[in-house]
Structure 1
């Protein structure tokens, strides 16, 4: 589809996006810890089973052995979102969070953004469990939470121009609503057409719905929806040259190329 690269949407209310950076750091750290042991190692599998969201366990259809329980069942609505299967899985989620998370954090504030992010993660797990209540496969990944961030960004800054890499090859600066709305529609389409796939489209849709609803409540007072300002990525912003002086300065010697 596309990979977001950069936007020029400057922060207006906070100096630094501490929560966004911290979430990325935690996700990377967890992946390093589990990944260094090997994706199929006993340690990695124990982490996935103990921290991943397993619908059949949460719905009391199945039960994990006591030795595999790392946190209470209800905590897995959130803990699953900090686990990733491989570097591609981690990287794709984190680049979306990196590009769009700072402005959503700016619109909400640090604490409310953190709560927003975790609620979107929980909503993704809830939707997944609702669709597949007896599944014994662990759900992992930050996609549900990141989907909520994308939905919030789309509602806050649809006209901000974003550099995206289309089809992995073509860099284009587009208004945010074009790639993001396409991405949102694609998640709903795949939810209907790919029920048995490896990707939990339900978790994405759950995060999208939660993000679209929660941004109405969590954004700062006075922060508008559907911002009408059109900002171009900094890479394509041109500085206006100074006007040429009407009279030359006699103290400045002329050059070959003029002033």
Structure 2
């Protein structure tokens, strides 16, 4: 089975010029080396690959990251670079992204060469370690976003969406298992893990110093539940990336995105995700937008579409949360939504008392015939369950835990 990530639904606030530049340079270098522009390819690999057991060679700390052993090696690395570069560069911009990429590449290569100075001479090359560093950063900064993975299996090919958290952890666990198989000798798996460890450390530093704004969707905020805060304390304020000029002085701060522009961006991403049939990601985008502005809301049609897609995908609790918010925001046109919300509470959560409170005050005779029938059946069945002595736990959350 062959697979590789090809895209992501993570919010992107910068055009990926840094990622594109790295891909172009890698491809051009590969074509020139394979075409013999610099001499025999094997001599180039020996001269500019990362040597082990032959002392420290700082030039190789950079050059080795642009050499690839074949077209498949290059293709897979560039696909991984594209997908995870979008996530990382999309949050911090081209300049900080390139600085981070080369920091991971150079530091990992230097540590690798230093630790292997006394082993049997050998050579390694490729961008994999730096890319694993980017993957670890994406894992920390955007664990709940999806990565679109292309795969081929025997005669079948296709695309699937996998959460970055799940995909990245799977890749890291795979490297650990392979390293264990080789008794943790120096193999590519160990080098990948080294890059991932360095990337994770850098991602944590960015968060700790406020150099990146993950909108409370980083892994630490998710673990603490801050990404779900709606009626409690407001999330931490947005902090833009700080940069230093060459003389070490703070650079001029970037202009913040005004609230109206941010609302439009959230609405655009929400509609795009619904159009692509990604209700779970759309729900997360809807929730994130509400965190930044208590009065943010989308149009009635968008909320109806979101709720319908969530129900079809099996996210009943999330659909119910959208229904309840719709009722709060649009009480004058919420008769149908109130009945649907009550039906979800009764059928899926066994909460007849709560269901009856949602439809309290609705007049059967003033409703269209289809809604009137549904409301009457709901009241009859829920009433029977209440009369039978059904005990309902108050405060049962309307949103399923992830």
Whether TM exceeds 0.5 here: the answer is yes
Equivalent in 188, 198, 202 of residue 210 of structure 1: 198
- 1:104 Cα deviation after fit: 0.3
1:83 equivalent to 2:32? Answer no
Change (3 A) 1:196 1:155: closer
1:50 alignment partner in structure 2 = 47
1:159 alignment partner in structure 2 = 144
Question: 2: distance between equivalents of 1:206 and 1:119?
Answer: 13
Which runs of structure 2 are paired with 1:133-144 in the superposition (5 Å)?
133-144=118-129
Question: 1: distance between equivalents of 2:145 and 2:78?
Answer: 20
What secondary structure does 1:138 align onto?
strand
Question: 2: distance between equivalents of 1:88 and 1:99?
Answer: 17
Do the aligned partners of 1:82 and 1:141 also contact (CA within 8 Å) in 2?
yes
Do the aligned partners of 2:50 and 2:124 also contact (CA within 8 Å) in 1?
yes
Question: 2: distance between equivalents of 1:161 and 1:154?
Answer: 11
Do the aligned partners of 2:91 and 2:213 also contact (CA within 8 Å) in 1?
no
Question: 2: distance between equivalents of 1:52 and 1:141?
Answer: 9
- 1:189 Cα deviation after fit: 2.1
The alignment covers a number of residue pairs equal to 227
1:67 alignment partner in structure 2 = none
| Mean CA deviation greater in 228-237 or 165-174 | 228-237
1:4 alignment partner in structure 2 = 5
Q: CA RMSD in A?
A: 3.2
What secondary structure does 1:164 align onto?
strand
Do the aligned partners of 2:152 and 2:158 also contact (CA within 8 Å) in 1?
yes
- 1:123 Cα deviation after fit: 3.9
Structure 2 regions of 5+ residues with no counterpart? 229-269, 283-300, 305-402
TM-score (norm 2): 0.50
Structure 1 regions of 5+ residues with no counterpart? 60-72, 244-259
What secondary structure does 2:199 align onto?
helix
1:69 alignment partner in structure 2 = none
Question: 1: distance between equivalents of 2:138 and 2:28?
Answer: 26
Question: 2: distance between equivalents of 1:148 and 1:141?
Answer: 13
Q: Larger C-alpha radius of gyration, 1 or 2?
A: 2
TM-score (norm 1): 0.75
1:180 equivalent to 2:165? Answer no
Change (3 A) 1:17 1:149: same
| Structure whose residues are more often helix by fraction | 2
Write the deviation string for residues 161-198 of structure 1: whole angstroms up to 9, x where unpaired.
22223564453222111111110111122223225989
2:30 alignment partner in structure 1 = 31
What secondary structure does 1:174 align onto?
strand
- 1:125 Cα deviation after fit: 2.5
